[in-house]
Amino acid sequence: MDDRFLVARARAGDDSAFAALIKAHERSLYCTALSLLRSSWEASDAVQEAFLEAYSKLQTLREPAKFRPWLARILVNICYQMLGRGRRTVPVEEVPERAAHVFIGSEESLDLMAALRSLDEEHRWVVALRYFHDLKVDEIAAIMDCPAGTVKSRLNRALEKLNARLAGTIQKEVAE
């Protein structure tokens, strides 16, 4: 369903509409957070914080059609804060919950995520925003506060590196 419609309904107090927005975007947010943060638990925390913030600030969203980049920006800020906080530990009596997400993909997907996580932070950001959130170059540039040309060159460079780090599997797939 269209984000604009869901945002309008959520703003009118329909919680099920916001739940639908969560379902539509949660995996994208999780993959982005996982590619940037240190653990799956941190990633799940970031996603939850992002949705809580989005929920409480939904009325401030000027253009409902821009919900996707708006939500991505919220997550980016949360990830920056979490990265800035340094390593974190858990009080002993807090039995770690299971991670909120389970991996159900192929071995190739695991390799791809590992390769992505090995890139420089600036390359991970652009790839995540481009491919997990399906954002345009201009939208990524606005979120990252850099020129569109920088985003384009980072994307090209990131994909080249990913291609190289996947040790020929992409080349093999293409050859087949």
Partner 1 sequence: MNCDDIRRELEPYVNGELDDDAAMQVAEHLRDCGECSLRHAQMSRLAQRLKGLTDAYRPIRDFEEGIMQVKQPGARHERPQREGFWRARGWAAAAAVLALCLIGAVVVASVPALARQLPLPVGSRLGDLETTSKQAQLQNHQMQGQIDKLKIEIKDIRSKLVSVIQTSKNPLSADVNYAVQSVVMQFVEAQYAGDLKKMKSLSTPAMQAEIDAHPQDYLRDKSGQVTFAQMTDVSKSGDTYLEFVRLIDTKTFNESQYQEDFELLKVGDRYLVNVEGMDA
Q: Is 145 in the site for partner 1 (CB under 8 A)?
A: no
Q: Is 18 in the site for partner 1 (CB under 8 A)?
A: yes
Helices 137-144, 67-84: inter-axial angle, 10-degree rounding: 40
Q: How far is the CB of 73 from partner 1 (least distance, A)?
A: 18
Q: How far is CA 31 from the centre of its chain?
A: 5
Considering only residues 54 through 73, tell me which ones interact with partner 1, judged by CB under 8 A: 55-56, 58-59
Q: Is 41 in the site for partner 1 (CB under 8 A)?
A: yes
d(C-alpha 71, C-alpha 140), whole Å: 12
Q: How far is the CB of 2 from partner 1 (least distance, A)?
A: 19
Q: Is 87 in the site for partner 1 (CB under 8 A)?
A: yes
Q: How far is the CB of 145 from partner 1 (least distance, A)?
A: 20
Q: Is 45 in the site for partner 1 (CB under 8 A)?
A: yes
Helices 15-36, 67-84: inter-axial angle, 10-degree rounding: 50
Structure tokens at 123: 């390359």
Considering only residues 97 through 126, tell me which ones interact with partner 1, judged by CB under 8 A: 97-106, 108-110, 112-113, 116
Structure tokens at 134: 């399906």
With the CA atoms of 122, 128, 130 and 134 taken in that order, what torsion angle do they form, in degrees rounded to the nearest 10?
Answer: -160
Q: Is 86 in the site for partner 1 (CB under 8 A)?
A: yes
From candidates 142, 144, 146, 162, binder to partner 1 by CB under 8 A: 162
d(C-alpha 74, C-alpha 52), whole Å: 10
